[in-house]
Structure 1
Amino acid sequence: MSRFRVALFTGNYNHIRDGVSLTLNRLVKFLLQNGVEVLVFGPSIDEPALQHSGKLIVVPSRSLPGRPEYRVSTAFPKEAKKKLEEFNPDLIHIATPDILGYKALKWSINNQKPVVSSYHTHFASYLKYYKLSILEPLLWKYLGWFYSHCSQLYIPTPSMAEFLEEKGIDSELKIWARGIDNEVFNPSKRSDSWRAERGFGEDDIVVTFVSRLVWEKNLLIYADVLKKIRRKYSNVKALVVGDGPAGDELRKHFPEAVYTGFLTGDELATSYASSDIFFFPSDTETFGNVTLEAMASGLPCVVADAVGSKSLVEHNANGFLASVDKKEDFYTYIEKLVTDSELRENMAALSIEMAKNYSWENINENLLDYYKQVLEY
């Protein structure tokens, strides 16, 4: 078998720009460049946020209640199923265990096609934000059943593998990390003029948050800690990069911060490199792409002690880890960095070195090897 075909099922491919969609688009581009045929199935909108890689078969979907920017697939129609059968994939990769993912799994079982899956969204950690924690046991029961039918499950970090094993997920777990483009994200992008244009002085210490602005990223922890720090240290400035449904309310709660809105490419890279400390208290990440981008840009990182982030940040080395239940610890660590320039410089240097271990080419090459293992290629 000189070539093989992969059908990819996902809940997010082009309708919103986030870590999941960017990761999957990079993967598809890589696979196509390496002679693998790919057909993607997922939801979309009239004006998608991304110009996607490869061919996308759009399936019916509706907006998520309370979060209209997200889409939920509602069916796997006959037309899409016919295209799948005509494509005749050698391997099914399911990136989201939703309705579409469930139907793709059933199709795979009925047609004796090998299935792999990847864990992009830490679903259980979101339940508490929507006051649905009572559903967590049921969720894990479903995920356990779903992943038990997959030959391999790709997770981004060893800490996530340990967590899933504790939850009874007994699939073969393989590390599929996330990568970084060091030519885009690096300290050389620092710009004094960029800082000045946003009101930051030469001696100001800019503490930056980068993400979609949604409450489950623990925006209030960031805002409240920075408010307290700024009362004591007037040279500390807050920079928020990104936008989202919580943006307007956050601006009202924390008007002192500088808000750039959504940035991409060189402008995003400049915003990182022109900062001094990266502060990201989200505990819902499976990996933390923004943390890796901050590391590559030469920033010490203060992040949540949670799966994902703690596989990137080594406590007391390139940054600090704190429990989201202990807001005062975040304050303590930010204050240490604010008051000790040598500590900032040492942690920044280590962040740069640690980020060099994450190359997209090597990471996606590993995934291609995993595919070949399943196919005995």
Structure 2
Amino acid sequence: MPEPVEPEPAPARPLKVALFSGNYNYVRDGANQALNRLVAFLERQGCTVRVYSPTSDTPAFEPAGTLVSVPSFSIPGRGEYRVALGLPERLKRDVREFGPDIIHLSAPDPAAHSAKRLARQLGVPVVASIHTRFETYLEYYGFGFARPLMEMMLGRFYTGLDEVFVTTAAFGETMRDAGIIRTEPAVWSRGVDKGRFNPKRRSPEWRWSLGVGDAEPVIGFVGRLVLEKGLDTVAAAVAELKRRGVPHRLVVVGDGPARERFEALAPDAIFTGFLDGTNLARAYASMDMLLNPSTTETFGNINLEAMASGIPVVAARASGNECLVTDGDTGALVTPGDITGYADALQRYCTDPLLRAGHGKAGLAAAQAFDWDAINGAVLSRYRDLIATKHP
């Protein structure tokens, strides 16, 4: 008798996902870029995603998914960012009519607190992802004394969720040690567009246009020009190199509210302003090293983009950097605030072209493992597991 044929499993049902974001597309940053990539991936898999976020009349880019505006107010002193208010009844009704299979929260704001309660009323899983170390920001604006209170408030928000996504296992441990999350989190890593970020983008012509000579080592800084990115450390490190007489050029890619202050601290730097797309990729590849002293990142996207561009990374020894940069192999990790340590690492790369080429090559090889579709596919799989097991 012929062997019985096993029936093929039924195709997975497309999901409806409601995503709540504090900043989905009105300002461009690494966190909302990751969220938009996730949404675009989900929609390619047949899912429907409805995104609830503060909006702007002049957004930084076109959003993935269907974007619904949430009432919000500007943050005093940081007017480019907004805080979402609690959900009015019309938006709660909008969520109910959408009928999500799962609700994903990405910022611990009042709208997300409302959405968390709404998920419980609807009987659907509710998850959150941590993109920013909000508790560390207070140190940069004179409110460090309030950090324990902030950590307590964050812990209250992340308690009682079906899942919390973190960017790395090590970062998850940091959050657990601080009491901000109390259960074992899931890892939602990050990827890099290797078609865009690669060493072939290097352009001597671009360097010449900035007045950089062929033999001048370029130290690159990429990111929003805000205090929490470690701008003071960048300025102090390159000032130490100048004091030592080490030839170099600092090229700053990005813009933000602290630009004027940064320009005063680093008067010899070249400021390109904001770049994106292939212009950003060309800038990375045309640098000789990246300097990233930030300790507030949950995942150093700029580190990964630099590595994919074939250049070594000098970064703070912090959870968002240690997951990517291998000290002495793909770059150098430095104790936060150690200006001499940063200057020493930069000097080695500035004066040893073979060392920086070797570490850049090692970083390029390491970056190949970070594939966006595989990473976002793991999130979708976790969504389905939670729907099946916790809220069937």
1:338 — aligned with what? Answer: 350
| Selected match of 1:136 from 147, 163, 178 | 147
**CA–CA separation in structure 1 for the residues paired with 2:227 and 2:371:** 30
What SS class does the counterpart of residue 284 from structure 1 fall into? Answer: coil
What SS class does the counterpart of residue 309 from structure 1 fall into? Answer: helix
Q: Which amino acid aligns with 1:109?
A: R
**CA–CA separation in structure 2 for the residues paired with 1:246 and 1:50:** 22
What SS class does the counterpart of residue 292 from structure 1 fall into? Answer: helix
**Identity in percent:** 40
Contact 1:31–1:38, Cα closer than 8 Å, also in 2: yes
Q: What TM-score do you get using the length of structure 2 for normalisation?
A: 0.94
Measured after TM superposition, the shift of residue 234 of structure 1 is 5.4
Alignment pair present for 1:83 and 2:94: yes
1:199 — aligned with what? Answer: 211
**CA–CA separation in structure 2 for the residues paired with 1:193 and 1:15:** 32
**CA–CA separation in structure 2 for the residues paired with 1:197 and 1:21:** 31
Measured after TM superposition, the shift of residue 21 of structure 1 is 1.3
Cα deviation digits, residues 162-187 of structure 1 (max 9, x gap): 10121232233111111100010000
1:326 — aligned with what? Answer: 338
Q: Which amino acid aligns with 2:124?
A: K
Alignment pair present for 1:308 and 2:320: yes
What SS class does the counterpart of residue 308 from structure 1 fall into? Answer: helix
Contact 1:151–1:171, Cα closer than 8 Å, also in 2: no
Contact 2:19–2:49, Cα closer than 8 Å, also in 1: yes
2:4 — aligned with what? Answer: none
| Selected match of 1:35 from 15, 39, 46 | 46
1:171 — aligned with what? Answer: 183
Q: Which amino acid aligns with 1:28?
A: V
Alignment pair present for 1:210 and 2:210: no
Measured after TM superposition, the shift of residue 283 of structure 1 is 0.7
**CA–CA separation in structure 2 for the residues paired with 1:142 and 1:109:** 20
Q: Which amino acid aligns with 2:358?
A: N
| Selected match of 2:107 from 87, 96, 119 | 96
Cα RMSD for the two superposed structures: 1.3
**CA–CA separation in structure 1 for the residues paired with 2:346 and 2:183:** 39
Q: What TM-score do you get using the length of structure 1 for normalisation?
A: 0.97
Cα deviation digits, residues 304-323 of structure 1 (max 9, x gap): 11111111101111111112
Q: Which amino acid aligns with 1:279?
A: L
Contact 2:233–2:337, Cα closer than 8 Å, also in 1: no
Alignment pair present for 1:284 and 2:296: yes
Q: Which has the larger radius of gyration?
A: 2
Number of residue pairs aligned between Structure 1 and Structure 2: 377
Unaligned runs of 5+ in 2: 1-11
Q: Which amino acid aligns with 1:304?
A: A
Measured after TM superposition, the shift of residue 79 of structure 1 is 1.5
What SS class does the counterpart of residue 196 from structure 1 fall into? Answer: helix
1:124 — aligned with what? Answer: 135
2:251 — aligned with what? Answer: 239
Cα deviation digits, residues 286-310 of structure 1 (max 9, x gap): 1011111001001111001111111
2:61 — aligned with what? Answer: 50
**CA–CA separation in structure 1 for the residues paired with 2:213 and 2:91:** 56
Unaligned runs of 5+ in 1: none
